[in-house]
């Protein structure tokens, strides 16, 4: 009888010990794992479509100083980063040549921001644009 009681007491002790260690491991993993934040998106009013010349460009700047090139194409507006993906020089729109141009190393991009010639390794970064009731909004993601 005594040995059965002793056996059950040891089993209960080992089970509670295992539960304690399991809980400790779960808390340790939770503490070591970084919390994920969802990137918030914001819309910035950048002007009226009627005030933008068709085929023309405008540079806007958000509150953090990020510069974005807007190019109107009929009822749509294209928004691309002004930062060249080669070494970070400022890109400009050349409407008469229908291209974006980086003067630092003669990088040339087409109207969609794709690389045409020069050293840039990839296309210009794009932003989503929404035109609603004649107003143009630039949609940007907040850094996570």
Sequence-distant (6+) residues with CB within 8 A of 116 are 99, 108, 109, 110
Give the residue with the Cβ less far from ligand FES, 115 or 138.
Answer: 115
Provide the minimum distance between the beta carbon of 79 and ligand FES in the complex, in angstroms, as a whole number: 19
Site for ligand FES contains 84 (CB under 6 A): yes
CA separation for the pair 120, 89 (Å, rounded) = 11
User: Which region among 3-11, 26-34, 86-94, 129-137 touches ligand FES (by CB under 6 A)?
Assistant: 86-94
Instruction: Establish if 123 lies at the interface with ligand FES (CB under 6 A).
Output: no
Instruction: Give me the 88-117 binding string for ligand FES, x by CB under 6 A, dash otherwise.
Output: -x------------x-xx-x----------
The encoded tokens of residue 132 equal: 């609603």
* 135 interacts with ligand FES by CB under 6 A: no
Strand partners, 94: 99
Task: Please report whether residue 129 would count as binding ligand FES according to CB under 6 A.
Answer: no
Residue 47 near ligand FES by CB under 6 A: no
Check residue 114 and report its DSSP letter: -
CA distance 55 to 40: 31
**Under 8 Å CB-to-CB from 124, ≥6 apart: which residues?**
80, 81, 83, 84, 85, 91, 100, 109, 113
Residues within the interface to ligand FES (CB under 6 A):
84, 86-87, 89, 102, 104-105, 107, 118-120
């Amino acid at each position: 009888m005594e040995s059965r009681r002793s056996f059950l007491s040891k089993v209960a002790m080992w089970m509670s010990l295992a539960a304690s260690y399991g809980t400790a491991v779960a808390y340790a993993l939770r503490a070591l794992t970084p919390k994920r934040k969802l990137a918030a998106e914001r819309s910035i009013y950048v002007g009226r479509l009627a005030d933008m010349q068709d085929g023309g460009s405008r540079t806007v700047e958000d509150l953090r100083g990020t510069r974005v090139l807007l190019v109107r194409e009929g009822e749509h507006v294209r928004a691309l980063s002004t930062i060249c993906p080669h070494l970070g020089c400022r890109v400009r729109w050349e409407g008469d040549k229908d291209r974006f141009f980086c003067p630092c190393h003669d990088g040339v991009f087409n109207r969609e921001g794709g690389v045409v010639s020069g050293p840039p390794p990839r296309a210009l970064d794009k932003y989503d644009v929404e035109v609603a009731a004649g107003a143009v909004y630039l949609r940007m993601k907040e850094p996570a």
